[in-house]
């Protein structure tokens, strides 16, 4: 039995990862969302797959909600094999341009995209350490690559994900025995990625899961793309 916990699973890439995982008979999935009662797609999967899927509440901007998640997760599984920090926000280009950016926008996005995943990792590391071959995957973006940054704007989102990348390196050093990576899912047709994106959620989730399946401890501290290629920091 392989036990997964994935955040932000009610739509987009997270929902598709859950759907693909549940097709594997040995997978048990804890899927978080902000409002389980109104997460219709997750509830439909729950009706289909029963107790192999548990839907749990998580508001990632709220430390108390993260703490509560750890307690609830421990009621359902003795251990976790894979934690996927997927939930995140982006904001309109206009409010994160050099002229539009404010303290409030920077702090809001950093809180959800960087502080949240770090506290989720902190809260769940005990369960991860009890799992065999544990993996912690922080969903990042190619836009977080400092080396590839040749354009302006998008200050809040790109900084929050570059900080998540740095957090990934710290976690990889602190959590010996857990394989910790940052993973870009590609440019994907979701509410965040928009209709003009390159990949479907199916293609992205397939690639993301292929990368996660193939991880070994030697990959810890790495920054990968959905197609398995490495990204420069």
Ligand X SMILES: NC(=O)c1ccc[n+]([C@@H]2O[C@H](COP(=O)([O-])OP(=O)(O)OC[C@H]3O[C@@H](n4cnc5c(N)ncnc54)[C@H](OP(=O)(O)O)[C@@H]3O)[C@@H](O)[C@H]2O)c1
- The answer to whether 100 and 94 are in contact (CB under 8 A) is yes
Give the closest residue to 84 by CA, choosing from 189, 14, 166.
Answer: 14
Q: Which stretch binds ligand X (CB under 6 A): 6-14, 91-99, 147-155, 209-217?
A: 6-14
Q: Which stretch binds ligand X (CB under 6 A): 10-18, 66-74, 119-127, 215-223?
A: 10-18
| Residues with Cβ within 8 Å of residue 70, at least 6 apart in sequence | 123, 124, 126, 127
Q: Which is nearer to ligand X, 57 or 217 (CB)?
A: 57
Based on the shown chain and the rule CB under 6 A, indicate whether residue 222 belongs to the binding site for ligand X.
Answer: no
Task: Please tell me the distance from the alpha carbon of residue 106 to that of residue 74, in angstroms, as a whole number.
Answer: 33
Binder among 14, 131, 207, 222 for ligand X (CB under 6 A): 14
- Site for ligand X (CB under 6 A): how many residues? 28
Based on the shown chain and the rule CB under 6 A, indicate whether residue 56 belongs to the binding site for ligand X.
Answer: no
**Binding positions for ligand X, 78-97, rule CB under 6 A:** 86-89
Task: Please tell me the distance from the alpha carbon of residue 224 to that of residue 222, in angstroms, as a whole number.
Answer: 6
**Binding positions for ligand X, 169-198, rule CB under 6 A:** 184-185, 187-188, 190-193, 197
Query: CA gyration radius for the chain?
Result: 17
Based on the shown chain and the rule CB under 6 A, indicate whether residue 117 belongs to the binding site for ligand X.
Answer: no
Report phi then psi at 163, rounded to 5. Answer: -70, -35
- Torsion over CA of 13, 204, 194 and 100, rounded to 10 degrees? 80
The CB-of-91 to ligand X minimum distance in angstroms stands at 11
Cβ neighbours, 10 Å, residue 64: 8
Q: Which stretch binds ligand X (CB under 6 A): 23-31, 52-60, 102-110, 126-134?
A: 52-60
Query: Beta strand 2-6 with 82-85: parallel, antiparallel or unpaired?
Result: parallel
Give the closest residue to 226 by CA, choosing from 187, 186, 197, 193.
Answer: 186
Binder among 6, 13, 53, 110 for ligand X (CB under 6 A): 13
Q: Which is nearer to ligand X, 24 or 34 (CB)?
A: 34
Based on the shown chain and the rule CB under 6 A, indicate whether residue 12 belongs to the binding site for ligand X.
Answer: yes
The CB-of-92 to ligand X minimum distance in angstroms stands at 13
| Interface ranges with ligand X (CB under 6 A) | 8, 10-14, 33-34, 58-61, 86-89, 112, 139, 141, 184-185, 187-188, 190-193, 197
């Amino acid at each position: 039995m392989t036990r997964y916990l994935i955040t932000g699973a009610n739509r987009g890439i997270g929902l598709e990862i859950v759907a693909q995982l549940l097709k594997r008979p040995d997978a048990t999935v804890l899927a978080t969302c902000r409002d389980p009662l109104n997460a219709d797609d997750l509830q439909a999967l729950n009706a289909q797959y029963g107790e192999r899927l548990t839907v749990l509440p998580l508001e990632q901007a709220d430390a108390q909600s993260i703490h509560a998640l750890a307690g609830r997760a421990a009621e359902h599984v003795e251990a976790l094999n894979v934690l996927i920090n997927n939930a995140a926000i982006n904001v309109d280009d206009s409010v994160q341009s050099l002229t539009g950016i404010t303290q409030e926008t920077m702090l809001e996005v950093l809180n959800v995209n960087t502080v949240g995943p770090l506290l989720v990792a902190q809260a769940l590391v005990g369960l991860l350490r009890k799992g065999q071959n544990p993996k912690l995957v922080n969903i990042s973006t190619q836009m977080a690559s400092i080396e590839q940054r040749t354009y302006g704007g998008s200050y809040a989102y790109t900084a929050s994900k570059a900080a998540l990348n740095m957090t990934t390196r710290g976690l990889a050093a602190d959590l010996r025995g857990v394989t910790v990576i940052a993973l870009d899912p590609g440019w994907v047709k979701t509410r965040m990625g928009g209709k003009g994106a390159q990949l479907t959620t199916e293609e992205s989730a397939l690639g993301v899961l292929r990368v996660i399946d193939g991880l070994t401890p030697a990959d810890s501290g790495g920054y990968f793309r959905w197609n398995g290629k490495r990204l420069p920091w």
